[in-house]
Amino acid sequence: MKALSTYNYKHVMYLLLLLICSLTLSATAQTIIPIQISKQGHLFVKVKVNGTEGNFIFDTGGGLTVLTKKFADKVKGISKQDGGFTGHRANGERLDLDLYTAKELSVGSFIEQQPTVSILDADFGEIDGLISLMTFKNQPFTIDLEHQQLILETIKSMSIRKQSAKTIALQLHADRDKSLDVFAYIKLDTLTLQFMLDSGAGNDVFRIHSKYMVALGIDKNDTTSVQTVYHKSETNANLQSAIYKAILRELHFKDASSVSKTKITGRFEDGLIYDGIMSINWIGKQLSFDLGKKKLYVK
């Protein structure tokens, strides 16, 4: 009986040890999702909507999750909501969108239930849609540009990442729990401006409202240092905006001056609805977003 009792005790302790190890591993285990990065710097990820897979751009500046009409026509079980959503593109262009509810949206093993999506009747080639930050508003994640991975973090794994990273405060623009964008303060010469962090912009894009040109000592009429181009809207052929390209010496994050970039081609735009919008490719090799805590951790 004594031997049996000892055996049972050891067996129970062994099972408890396995359970503890399992819980420890699950607390630190991240979900790793491969992404593809185009030559232009766009991040592509496979997304399933109601089980139908598509090629989506991971767009931190997208606000809403968008399906192209071509892709949406393949997806079964999307129901139209009664209400709609009026938003604006960065150039001020108004978009009046219908809203839809999907049963689920999945990225790897991560599943969002009952997501709100919009449908855009536009031709984006092989792109089936844009997945926005709304999907990850409660899920910390890392964009690993070096290894081309989207990593869904646990509390423990995010805590480990923070230890060796620079911390940047974020500001969130949440619109009626349907749209979500993220911003941070940037030092540009003598100005402190609030820039949207836009992974959908591609590589090395720095869009700035043209009203700041004077404060930065840039004359839009000086053809020796400023190039003027005109850009047509992708969704409204009648809308055209002026862009003034000029070289800027340097910019850096207000919270982390060492996270900086020099010799930037600034794109100054009339009618931009923000101080600025910028790409994320230059910030660091690994960018960890904890939207719940409004923090960006840069390695």
pLDDT digits (tens, 9 = 90+) for 249-267: 999 999 999 999 999 999 9
Same domain, residue pair 136 and 174: no
Same domain, residue pair 172 and 283: yes
Task: Establish if 132 belongs to a structural domain.
Answer: yes
Backbone angles phi, psi at 238, to 5 degrees: -90, -5
Burial status of residue 252 (CB atoms within 10 A of its CB: 0-12, 13-18, 19 or more): middle
Same domain, residue pair 216 and 290: yes
Same domain, residue pair 65 and 133: yes
Virtual torsion, Cα 191, 197, 203, 205, nearest 10 deg: -40
Task: Establish if 100 belongs to a structural domain.
Answer: yes
Q: Report the candidate in 179, 197, 54, 78 with the shortest Cα–Cα distance to residue 129.
A: 54
Same domain, residue pair 115 and 198: no
Virtual torsion, Cα 184, 288, 279, 71, nearest 10 deg: -120
Report yes or no: 229 and 299 within 8 Å, Cβ to Cβ: no
Rounded Cα gap, residues 224 and 174, in angstroms = 41
Rounded Cα gap, residues 71 and 49, in angstroms = 10
Same domain, residue pair 290 and 175: yes
Rounded Cα gap, residues 290 and 280, in angstroms = 16
Last residue of some domain: 141, 175, 198?
141
CATH number at residue 120: 2.40.70.10
Task: Establish if 254 belongs to a structural domain.
Answer: yes
Res 72: pLDDT: 96
Task: Establish if 7 belongs to a structural domain.
Answer: no
**pLDDT tier for residue 205 given thresholds of 50, 70 and 90:** very high
Backbone angles phi, psi at 266, to 5 degrees: -85, 135
Q: What's the total number of domains in the chain?
A: 2
Q: Among the listed ranges 16-25, 111-120, 219-228, which one has the minimum average pLDDT value?
A: 16-25
Range of the domain at 73: 32-141
Q: What predicted TM-score, i.e. pTM, was given to this entire model?
A: 0.85
**pLDDT tier for residue 19 given thresholds of 50, 70 and 90:** very low
Q: Would you say residue 11 has pLDDT above 70?
A: no
Q: How many whole angstroms from its chain centre is CA 179?
A: 12
Rounded Cα gap, residues 93 and 56, in angstroms = 23
Rounded Cα gap, residues 87 and 273, in angstroms = 11
If you count them, how many residues does the chain have? 299
Q: Would you say residue 234 has pLDDT above 80?
A: no
Task: Establish if 85 belongs to a structural domain.
Answer: yes
Rounded Cα gap, residues 145 and 236, in angstroms = 33
Task: Establish if 216 belongs to a structural domain.
Answer: yes
Q: Would you say residue 172 has pLDDT above 80?
A: yes
Same domain, residue pair 206 and 137: no
Same domain, residue pair 103 and 174: no
Same domain, residue pair 203 and 282: yes
Same domain, residue pair 105 and 211: no
Q: Report the percentage of the chain scoring pLDDT > 70.
A: 88
Last residue of some domain: 91, 106, 141?
141
Rounded Cα gap, residues 71 and 44, in angstroms = 16
Q: Report the candidate in 220, 269, 268 with the shortest Cα–Cα distance to residue 240.
A: 269
Same domain, residue pair 137 and 177: no
Same domain, residue pair 195 and 82: no
Task: Establish if 152 belongs to a structural domain.
Answer: no
Q: Report the candidate in 39, 288, 274 with the shortest Cα–Cα distance to residue 141.
A: 288
Task: Establish if 15 belongs to a structural domain.
Answer: no
Q: Which residues pair with 267 in a beta bridge?
A: 207, 245
Q: Would you say residue 146 has pLDDT above 90?
A: yes
Residue 136 per-residue DSSP state: G
Contacts of 237 (CB under 8 A, 6+ apart): none
